[in-house]
């Protein structure tokens, strides 16, 4: 595993050479979705960012155990310690079991990830399936004196922890900042300090999701699940923990505190965070109500969209920005990505049309090195794409007859393109020109059948019979229905 992969570690605020704890194994944990609504563009970004990392680490030869959790309990409204459970609320409004909500949106999330060509993680644990592990974590923190019981709930004692350790080392916030920005909410009276966060919450009578514990019938605090499940599947120390930048505080800061308070040190070696997708400069998110779902992007069915965009256009759009930069949504930007992607795919397809010659007038070997260098530089996918566009120019020049290439160099170029476009960036061919042609021919048949209906309505039997007979002779099977007619081609 000779490589120089560097990744930006949020904890140390710098790029660091990636050295796994137990080569060739890599443990990677990424915060997954809270499944109470359809996935939107904001969900696609972490999924694609860490898919890129997963694919690249696997390509480098590592055996990666990639854990991406499903939050199905304990995530309260406004990411706070009070308010209704996001899934419980949806279940109440729709008169369904919470687990029906979870299953429904999880199935749809999986479908959305599949069309974006996001590989499934190795393990996808549910928070609700790990209540015992979370209770155990809370017991350990209590035992070490960093938590207290109040009215059947357990809170993390941030002030006490901060005396012995450093609360805020990931986010750079200090406790005074946190206290100044913490809003007073109902029930905060249970806490010794407004900065304290819930490890276990006693369920109110109307709360549907509840489990027995030594303290009360209730449910775990939102931050517990990732610490408990990370530990269970990746051990007390593992390599990478990822998620969106919006999770740095409070979620990941609290995870570090829970880990240090329970086992004495942080579990995670490299903390990685992708930046947000904004829409007109503001964050896109379910709770903000300004989001466009992935399905709406693919169907073009949202008032902000001037057209439909294919899943690979969305993937390419996201990869055209470095994962730590912001991306602002606009139709123009997506249309530019659509054009860029088709230019790249035409070049890939063009590789099969090239007849090799006896000599090369182009230099192709450095392309692969440059792409590796860009990937090793904290997964710089926009630079990889820029190099591939340079490669596309070379391909087009050869096809145009301006340059020549030997068989060896052609095979090398093919390998580089396949490796980076498909295996690492995770792009795939969609809507080949054959499919587009078939769709266009189908529309012509629809038009002919419309003419036949008009002829029938006019009692012009000879025209309607002629259309039917000629289509039948060509192998089409026509079936008349109440709405008009259906056809299929018997090949």
Chain residues in the site for Zn ion (CB under 5 A): 31, 226
Q: Angle at which helices 311-319 and 381-399 pack, to 10 degrees?
A: 120
- Quote the DSSP letter at residue 80: S
**DSSP letters spanning 152-179:** TEEEE-HHHHHHHS-TTTTT---HHHHH
Question: Which pair of structure tokens corresponds to residue 274?
Answer: 């992708």
Nearest distance from C-beta of residue 345 to Zn ion, angstroms: 36
CA 229 to chain centre: 20
Q: In this structure, which long-range contacts are made by residues 473-476, counting pairs with CB atoms below 8 Å and at least 24 apart in sequence?
A: 476/445
Nearest distance from C-beta of residue 76 to Zn ion, angstroms: 14
d(CA 406, CA 427): 27
Residue 173 CB neighbour total at 10 angstroms: 18
Question: Which of residues 198 and 226 has its CB atom nearest to Zn ion in the complex?
Answer: 226
Question: Which of residues 255 and 296 has its CB atom nearest to Zn ion in the complex?
Answer: 255
Residue 171 CB neighbour total at 10 angstroms: 17
Question: Which of residues 39 and 375 has its CB atom nearest to Zn ion in the complex?
Answer: 39
Radius of gyration in angstroms for the set of CA atoms belonging to the chain, rounded to a whole number: 28
Nearest distance from C-beta of residue 251 to Zn ion, angstroms: 5
Nearest distance from C-beta of residue 230 to Zn ion, angstroms: 8
Question: Which of residues 233 and 317 has its CB atom nearest to Zn ion in the complex?
Answer: 233
d(CA 143, CA 138): 8
Question: Which of residues 66 and 417 has its CB atom nearest to Zn ion in the complex?
Answer: 66
Question: Which of residues 226 and 413 has its CB atom nearest to Zn ion in the complex?
Answer: 226
Nearest distance from C-beta of residue 31 to Zn ion, angstroms: 3
Nearest distance from C-beta of residue 39 to Zn ion, angstroms: 17
Question: Which of residues 47 and 226 has its CB atom nearest to Zn ion in the complex?
Answer: 226
CA 10 to chain centre: 19
The pairing of strands 476-481 and 484-489 is antiparallel
Instruction: Give the CA-trace dihedral at 52, 55, 56, 61, to 10 degrees.
Output: 170
Nearest distance from C-beta of residue 252 to Zn ion, angstroms: 7
């Amino acid at each position: 595993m000779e490589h120089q992969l560097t990744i930006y570690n949020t904890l140390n605020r710098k790029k660091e050479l990636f050295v796994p704890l137990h080569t060739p194994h890599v443990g990677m944990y990424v915060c997954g979705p809270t499944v109470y609504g359809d996935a939107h563009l904001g969900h696609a970004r972490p999924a694609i960012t860490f898919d890129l990392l997963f694919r690249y680490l696997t390509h480098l030869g590592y055996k990666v155990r990639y854990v991406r959790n499903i939050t199905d309990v304990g995530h309260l409204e406004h990411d706070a310690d009070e308010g209704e459970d996001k899934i419980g609320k949806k279940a109440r409004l729709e008169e369904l079991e919470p687990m029906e909500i979870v299953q429904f949106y999880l199935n749809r999330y999986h479908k959305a990830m599949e069309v974006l060509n996001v590989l499934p993680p190795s393990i996808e644990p549910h928070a609700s399936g790990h209540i015992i592990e979370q209770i155990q974590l809370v017991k350990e923190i209590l035992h070490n004196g960093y938590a207290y019981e109040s009215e059947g709930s357990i809170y993390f004692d941030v002030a006490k922890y901060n005396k012995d350790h450093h609360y805020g080392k990931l986010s750079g916030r200090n406790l005074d900042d946190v206290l100044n920005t913490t809003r007073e909410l109902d029930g905060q009276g249970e806490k010794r300090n407004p900065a304290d966060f819930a490890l276990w919450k006693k369920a109110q009578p109307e709360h549907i999701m509840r489990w027995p514990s030594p303290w009360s019938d209730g449910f775990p605090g939102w931050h517990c699940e990732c610490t408990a499940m990370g530990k269970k599947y990746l051990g007390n120390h593992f390599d990478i923990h990822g998620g969106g930048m919006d999770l740095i505080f409070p979620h990941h800061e609290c995870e570090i505190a829970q880990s240090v308070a329970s086992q004495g040190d942080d579990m995670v070696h490299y903390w990685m965070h992708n930046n947000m997708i904004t829409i007109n400069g503001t964050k896109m998110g379910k709770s903000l109500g300004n989001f466009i779902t992935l399905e709406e992007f693919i169907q073009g069915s949202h008032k902000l969209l001037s057209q439909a965009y294919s899943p690979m256009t969305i993937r390419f759009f996201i990869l055209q920005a470095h994962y730590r930069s912001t991306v602002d949504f606009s139709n123009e930007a997506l249309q530019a990505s659509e054009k860029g992607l088709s230019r790249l795919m035409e070049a890939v397809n063009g590789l099969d049309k090239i007849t090799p010659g006896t000599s090369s007038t182009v230099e192709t070997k450095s392309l692969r090195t440059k792409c590796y260098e860009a990937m090793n530089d904290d997964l710089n996918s926009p630079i990889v794409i820029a190099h591939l566009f340079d490669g596309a120019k070379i391909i087009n020049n050869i096809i145009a007859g301006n340059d020549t290439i030997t068989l060896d160099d052609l095979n090398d170029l093919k390998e580089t393109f396949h490796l980076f476009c498909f295996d690492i960036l995770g792009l795939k061919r969609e809507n080949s020109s054959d499919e587009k042609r078939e769709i266009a021919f189908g529309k012509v048949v629809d038009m002919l059948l419309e003419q036949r209906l008009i002829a029938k309505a006019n009692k012009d039997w000879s025209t309607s019979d002629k259309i039917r007979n000629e289509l039948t002779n060509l192998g089409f099977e026509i079936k008349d229905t109440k709405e008009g007619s259906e056809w299929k081609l018997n090949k």
